[in-house]
Structure formats: structure tokens, C-alpha cells
Structure 1
């Protein structure tokens, strides 16, 4: 039986806070996509400057 728990929600919803509390409570490690995403973004050719321009012109 898998012990993975995935929290999904919008920016600022409190996913990281809940994940930290939950990980402490059940004794599981916590991995935040905020920490892991930059390596993945490099692999797929993510253009940070283009993303910034789109956020400024179109919003999140």
C-alpha cells in the first residue's frame, strides 16, 4: 500500500503549511514541488524571462 499523499491547490492556499503539519503528524517525509521544479523546468527548456513577461501582460 502506497503512503504517498499529494496536496493540490492554488497558490497561497496553504498546501506547504498543511504538508509540513501532516508530515510531522504521520511521520512521512515532505517534498515540496517548489524545491524540485527548477531542475524539471531546466529539462523541458523553461524560459523564465518569457514566463515573467506573460505574467506581467496576462497575470497569473
Structure 2
């Protein structure tokens, strides 16, 4: 029941939930975990720093 613990549900809530409720909860948890993270391409200055640090 690691998943139910991670999303803050008691075991009984997990087993009583529908698949839609479960996946809605998982999606919301993933969105909250992603807030503020920048997954875009690195800027030119970031690329220069990475090349300098790790080479070509």
C-alpha cells in the first residue's frame, strides 16, 4: 500500500475508491510534485556552462 500512503490515503480509502478517483488523485499528486520545475531547453548561458564543465 505504498501508493495509498504516498497520496495520503488510508488503506480503506484506497480500496473504496474507483479507478477514476485513484487516477485523478495520482494525476493531482504528479502535478503538485512538478510545480515550479523547469523542463525547458537550457539557455545559451546554461549550455556554455555545461560545455565548459563537461566538454563537448
TM-score, length of structure 2 as denominator length: 0.29
The structure with the greater share of residues assigned to helix is 2
TM-score, length of structure 1 as denominator length: 0.28
Larger RCO (CA within 8 A; separation ≥ 6): 2
Of the two, which has the highest radius of gyration? 2
